[in-house]
């Protein structure tokens, strides 16, 4: 006897079709019309259910990249059994901010694990994340291990280091460990982006909640918020019109019956 499916997962094929239509619609708004880009997006949607709107895929110089949040959400959907991360001490040099980390992903209970390594030092990270090389190395290691575990041949954004426009997904933590101060810096940067690009704060908030995959923005952790702020900045700088279209998709319909 089959267990009843949840409403969201009652028909996986229909869910994937809806997601593909949404991804293709957003891709058209981003002027991604090439057959190669469309075919790869279709493959990534059907096989892994990555969502453009949720920031799980990103385009840089016409090439698709998966994001850290996309890989983590995939692992959750696939019910990954666990991820272990450890430093490779013989290759690390904290005085030079050079770190190499090893991540092992266990996609199933009986899996022997898929290993990925990530390295980071001041020469291969953006200036935005200087001082946070160990965190970047950890993210790269986890991303690589997850891509191996689930057979994803597309590179992740975080693995390529400084992107062509000089951005990086993860702003650095404050060196004195003051989380409140670091959180304030993230909020200030978000407000600056909203003012600079004349964005609707309420729509940005709705987008942030969806991007972080939480019920409210308060439930998102700092890393998720930092990821969102960087994604918002990248999108606004690259194609503000496409970003506005994406934000408008979060506009709530009026309830007063007016046409």
DSSP string, 83-135: EEEEE-GGG-BGGGTBEEEEEEEE-STT---EEEEEEE-TTSS-GGGTT-HHH
Return the structure tokens found at 235: 């999108």
| Residue 86 within any structural domain of the chain | yes
Element (H, E) at 75: helix 68-77
90 and 167: one domain?
A: yes
Answer whether residue 220 shows pLDDT above 70. yes
Q: How confident is the model at residue 182 (pLDDT cuts 50, 70, 90)?
A: low
0.85 surpassed by pTM: no
Return the structure tokens found at 143: 């991303």
154 and 209: one domain?
A: no
**Can you tell me the distance from the alpha carbon of 92 to that of 81, in angstroms, rounded to the nearest whole number?**
28
- Residues paired with 102 in a beta bridge: 86, 117
Rounded to an integer, the average pLDDT of 77-102 is 95
Element (H, E) at 181: helix 179-196
Q: How confident is the model at residue 150 (pLDDT cuts 50, 70, 90)?
A: very high
120 and 185: one domain?
A: no
What pLDDT is recorded for position 167? 38
163 and 189: one domain?
A: no
Query: Is 204:232 a contact under the CB 8 Å cutoff?
Result: yes
Tens digit of each residue's pLDDT (9 = 90 or more) over 237-255: 888 888 888 888 877 654 4
Helix (H, G, I), strand (E, B) or coil at 251: coil
216 and 241: one domain?
A: yes
Provide the residue range defining the domain that includes 80.
76-171
184 and 227: one domain?
A: yes
């Amino acid at each position: 006897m089959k267990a009843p499916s949840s409403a969201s997962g009652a028909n996986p094929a229909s869910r994937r079709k809806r997601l593909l239509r949404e991804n293709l619609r957003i891709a058209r708004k981003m002027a991604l019309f090439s057959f190669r880009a469309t075919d790869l997006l279709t493959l990534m949607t059907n096989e892994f259910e990555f969502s453009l709107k949720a920031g799980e895929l990103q385009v840089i110089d016409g090439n698709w990249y998966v994001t850290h949040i996309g890989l983590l959400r995939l692992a959750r959907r696939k019910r990954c059994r666990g991820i272990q991360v450890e430093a490779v001490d013989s290759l690390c040099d904290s005085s030079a901010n050079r770190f190499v980390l090893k991540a092992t992903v266990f996609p199933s209970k009986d899996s022997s694990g898929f290993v990925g390594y990530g390295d980071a030092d001041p020469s291969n990270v953006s200036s935005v994340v200087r001082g946070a090389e160990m965190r970047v190395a950890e993210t790269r290691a986890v991303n690589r291990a997850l891509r191996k575990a689930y057979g994803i041949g597309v590179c992740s954004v975080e693995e390529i280091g400084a992107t062509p426009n000089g951005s990086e997904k993860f702003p650095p933590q404050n060196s004195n460990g003051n989380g409140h101060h670091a959180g304030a810096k993230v909020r200030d940067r978000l407000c600056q982006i909203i003012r600079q690009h004349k964005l609707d704060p309420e729509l940005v908030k709705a987008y942030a909640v969806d991007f972080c995959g939480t019920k409210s923005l308060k439930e998102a952790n700092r890393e998720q918020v930092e990821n969102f702020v960087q994604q918002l900045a990248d999108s606004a700088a690259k194609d503000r019109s496409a970003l506005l279209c994406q934000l408008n998709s979060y506009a709530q319909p009026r309830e007063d019956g007016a046409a």
